[in-house]
Structure formats: structure tokens, C-alpha cells
Amino acid sequence: MAKINKRRKKIFDMLKEHQAGLSGEFMSQQLGVSSRTIRSDIKALQEYLVEYDIRIISSPNKGYRFNKFEQLDTAEQNLFQEGVSNLETAKQRINYILYRLLENTFKDIVITQNDLAEEMYISLSTLKMHLNEVKDILQKYDLKVTQYKTKGIKVIGEEVKIRYCIVDMINTCSTEKFFQKILANVDIELLDKIIKETLSYKKIQLADRSKEKFCLHIAIGMQRSNCNKFVSYPSSIANKIENTFEYNVAKELIDNILKKMNIDIACSEVYYIAQCLLASKKLTDISESMDKKHVKKLVNIILKEIHEKLSIDFTNDEYLIDGLTLHLNIALTRIQFQMNIRNELLETIKNDYPLAFQMGVIAGKIVEQYDNIKINENEIGYIALHFGAALSRNGIKENIKAKNIIIVCSSGLGISVLLKAKVEEYFHNRLNVIKVMPSYEINSQILDNVDYVLSTVPLKNIKSDKIIKINRMLQKEDVENIENKIFHKETTELLEITTFFNKDNFYIGKNFETKEECINFLADEAIKKGLMNNNAKMSIFEREEMSSTSIGDLVAIPHPIYNECGTSFISILILNKPIIWDDLFVQVVFLLNVEKGKMNLWEPMFLKLYNYIKSKNGVNSILKNKSYEVFINEFEKMF
């Protein structure tokens, strides 16, 4: 909102202090600028004061003065303090630059770097530094910051990409005060109501966040088209959109907006609205197009590939097949129309659900192979969520059969039922809750007939490793405790896991400069020792292309998508100095290779490494000691 530089703020203060008026000549002398500059600043100030019903009037004898002073304090607070006081961090300043440049695209306004720096109360050098970050963000949308002659900078790019970027900025940042002007003439509540009614009538059900984003796309589209900013489509794409069910929905939506909001949206916007609807995440979808049949066939190919390469069979999981088909049908549309999507859960999915993410990578490779469409890591992350749910649902995550448990709860029926439901929600088929019972009924005979007891209270006179204490309202720490005690301890047996490591695969003192050199070295060494073949080596690079394997804390964990060799191993490479691995610094590299028949160990092994690096500060010890014996000793203590 605040777009007034330091000089204009001083003019505002001077006029506020001298209510009788000040001459332009006096102000130009005080501020060291020309009278012409003062006139330009006055004109700019006036534009921002209109909404407060304040005018700057001038007369030959009195100079410039405010016509009223009642709303000055409110105007001052909104125009100056609120805008600048919130620009304390680099992220806030970067976002502010983004908002200003995107807002200017509505009317093709340019702004000089000097004016922007003054407006933000930062130095020109600081602005230039932040501007580089802004350019990187805009690059993800194929947008550029360009110098327009000598008048200033502005954002250029395809109209559709500018719209995606604006909507994403609204969705992911605290942008309300900056975008009030953009959406000022749109009744969002009424528009949202019209959208809900139209979609309900057409039997389309969107996820909540997708509906909100869809509403924003339409609102931004309305405002952009009012400024003669339209999205153009080649005839081939337009024809394809016209043949979709969503196109008819978009036409009806535009008719309803005209009837109920009295807003006549440009005809060309129907294609954009249809495109956004095609790419929205649907909970239900009544259409049955040839594309959808093709996607279902693609899903079957993906599941067969996962079964063949990872020995995990989802081919009869109808819930996964339906969910993945619906998701891919929408995702492929998004990619086809180059609609960027940001996955806020990406790092969590990659680090906490590595096996599911690996399956997402395999799915991405299949799509690329059959449809010649490149799937980025954000989309892979969303695909991985479906596999993660399937792994939990089918009890495959740890490759074990369900454990029989009893829940002991001292509270009433309501809490007991809720606790049972929460346990089943988190652990699905991995835990079989036989019954919920009070503590006084527990005895040694009952303990002998179950695998574990989850108890909210201490069990008097009974001691057993089978008893796990939990809270009445299942907490995150309870879930982690159950995971560690029931699953991880048994699936990651110390003897089996430590066979992954060998002193001969521990390398120090290397001076490589790129990730390619690191991967080539580790893979070539493994090939020499018969641990890996060339196909697996190529698969490591393919996996790296899909999504970076650097995880922060100076560590990367590269691994192949497929592995046909019969040996599991982990090689460790310690560099003399960090290198840039995509966006992160890396100095320690773990090459993780799990044989096909032991894919149940893939995720526990990754998570053990991740925990050693993140929670145990293992990377510091590795870099300090550079010793295989110290590393293996510390790693074994985690079991």
C-alpha cells in the first residue's frame, strides 16, 4: 500500500505542520530539489489522498495546503507507518518489491530503482541485492524484470504467467494490504457464492483451497481484463478447451456473474476460467473423457513398474488407482497449460516419506516416457502423497503384518472412542486394536495374548516391555514413540543395517567441485567392486534430474531410481571443502543403494541417516573426525 518515498513523506509532514500553506519554492529549497519535482511529488501525493477525501489545494498567495485535516492521522498511518514498519526482514522487503512490480503490471507503470529504494527506506545497494532474489522468484513463472528505456523497471512476460504469479503471491504471503487495490472493485464473498452454486449445480466438487484459488483466478482475471490485459490462446488449445465439460461450466459461470454481479466479463476469459477449472484439484469428477481413460492406463503402467522394480504391489489397490487417476488427470492438464504449482509440503515429503517420494519419481519417469511431459518435483511431491497414504493404508510402509494391541484408557466412553479412532487413523492396518479396556482388567494373561498395550495410565503391579505410555489425547510425541518402539526397532535390525557399511566404501580428502564429479566417483568405485552396474549409475543421474537429493546441513543422499544389482550398500564421501549441490552447500555425500529384495529397508535406512544428520549433529562429527570407526560407532548407538 505505501508507495511514497522519503521526500514525499517530508512534503506531507511539512504541509501538516504548516496548515496555512507553503510555497513550492520554499519546499524545493528545503528539500534541495527543483520546483518541478515538488509539483510532481504533490501530484503523486494527491493520488494517494483521494480515498481519504483529502485534497492538496494551491493558491498564488498561500502556496500548497490541505483542504481538511480531520483524516490526516488515518491517512498518515495507512500510507506511511503500516507499509514501511513491516519491512524489517529481507523476506518482507523481497515480497514488497514483488507486490509493487506485479501491481504495476495492471497499467504498465514503471518505477526507478532509486524511487523504489526511497519508498522502502533502504539503500540502493540493498535494493539491488533483493532485486536479484525477486528475479529468481519471477523466473519460476518465466517472468523477467526489465529496464524500460531510462524510465525505470517493470515485469514482462506472458499474461497467463503474470496471473499465476499474482494468485500465488496472494495465496502464499501476507498480502492483503498490498492487494486491496487490485481486488477493491470485486465482491469476493458474492463471487465465491456464485462459484459454489454453479459448481454444485454442475456436480463438481473442489477441495477447499482449490476453490479459494479458483475464485482468486477469476477475480484477478476480471481486474486484468478491465485493464485490457487478456490471455490469448492458439486455436489448437482453444479447440481443445471448447471440447471439455469445464468449458461449459465456465460459460455458465460467466452468465451467472453477469446476472448477479452485473459484471460483463470479456468472452475470451471463458477459456481462462475453463483452464483454471481443468487444473483445479477436484474431490469428485463426473466427466469421463478419453484423456481420463488414457491416464488410468498410465496409472496401471506406473503401478506395474513399481511392483517390478520395488517388489511392492499396489495393482489391486482401487482406492490408490482412483485417487492417482484423478490427481494425474488434473496435474497433466496443469503441466500442459504451464500452470505452475507450489508444493509447500515438498521438503517434508522428501525427508519424512522418502520411499513414497521415490515412487513419485518413478511415476514421473513413466509420464515423461509415455506422454513426453516433464514432471517437476512439486508435482512429484503431490503424487508421493498418494503413495504414502497407500503404504500406510496397506501396512506396507514397514513391510510387516499388523500388530495386535489393547488400549487402556481411564477416561469415559467419549475419550476412549476418540483415542481408538486416532490410533487407527495414524496407523491404519499396521495396528489392530482388539479392544479398549480399563486398567484394572489388565493381567499377565491378557499381556501374553497381544503384541502391545497402549496405556494412558500407569499399570500397577505389572511390568512389561509391551506397555507403552501415551496421552489421553494422542499427541505427536506419542505417535513418534509408538513408531520407534513398535516398528523402527524391529524393521531396522542393527546387524542387517550395519551390513550396508564397509570401511572400503569410506572416502576422505577429495577435492571435487561438482555434484557430477562426486556421483561419478562413488558410482565408478561401486562398479569396480561389483556393487553396482552402469544402468544403476545412469539411474542415479536420472533421479537427480527429477529432484535434488541435497537435504541441507552440508549433506546429499543420491540414490538410483532402479537397482537391478543384488547388493545393498552405502558409500560415504567427505570433501575437503563444500561444493554447490543445486541450491545448497554439500560436503558429505552418502550414496544409498538398496537391493530390490530389501526395499522394506529403504525408508528406515534413509530415516536413520536423516536422523543421524539432523538430530544427532552427525555431519559435524564426520567432518571433525573423518573416521569410519567413529562414524559406525555413533551410528550403531542409534539402535
Rounded Cα gap, residues 478 and 126, in angstroms: 46
Whether 290 has a pLDDT exceeding 70, the answer reads no
Q: How much is the pLDDT for 173?
A: 64
Q: What top-level class would CATH report for the domain 86-179?
A: mainly alpha
Q: In this structure, which topology does domain 6-79 adopt according to CATH?
A: Arc Repressor Mutant, subunit A (1.10.10)
pTM: 0.58
Q: Are 489 and 495 in contact (CB under 8 A)?
A: no
* pLDDT tens profile 539-580: 999 889 888 899 888 999 999 987 776 688 999 999 999 999
CATH of the domain spanning 495-636: 3.40.930.10
Q: Are 563 and 599 in contact (CB under 8 A)?
A: no
* pLDDT tens profile 322-353: 888 888 887 887 777 766 666 767 777 787 78
Q: How much is the pLDDT for 151?
A: 83
Q: Are 600 and 399 in contact (CB under 8 A)?
A: yes
More confident: 591 or 178: 591
Q: How much is the pLDDT for 415?
A: 63
More confident: 495 or 77: 77
CATH superfamily for 290-393 is PRD domain (1.10.1790.10)
Decide whether 6-79 matches 290-393 in CATH topology. Answer: no
Longest CA–CA span in the chain (Å) reads 103
Rounded Cα gap, residues 417 and 428, in angstroms: 15
User: Could you tell me the residue ranges of all domains in the chain?
Assistant: 6-79, 86-179, 188-284, 290-393, 403-487, 495-636
Whether 82 has a pLDDT exceeding 70, the answer reads no
CATH of 403-487, one of 3.40.710.10, 3.40.50.2300, 3.20.20.150, 1.10.3720.10: 3.40.50.2300
Closest CA to 323 of 275, 365, 385: 385
CATH of 188-284, one of 2.40.40.20, 3.40.50.720, 3.40.50.300, 1.10.1790.10: 1.10.1790.10
The rounded percent of the chain whose pLDDT value lies above 70 is 86
Q: Are 517 and 541 in contact (CB under 8 A)?
A: no
Whether 113 has a pLDDT exceeding 80, the answer reads yes
Q: How much is the pLDDT for 1?
A: 39
The most confident of 1-10, 74-83, 141-150, 597-606, by mean pLDDT: 141-150
Rounded Cα gap, residues 199 and 249, in angstroms: 8
| Average pLDDT taken over every residue of the chain | 83
Rounded Cα gap, residues 319 and 308, in angstroms: 20
Q: How much is the pLDDT for 75?
A: 79
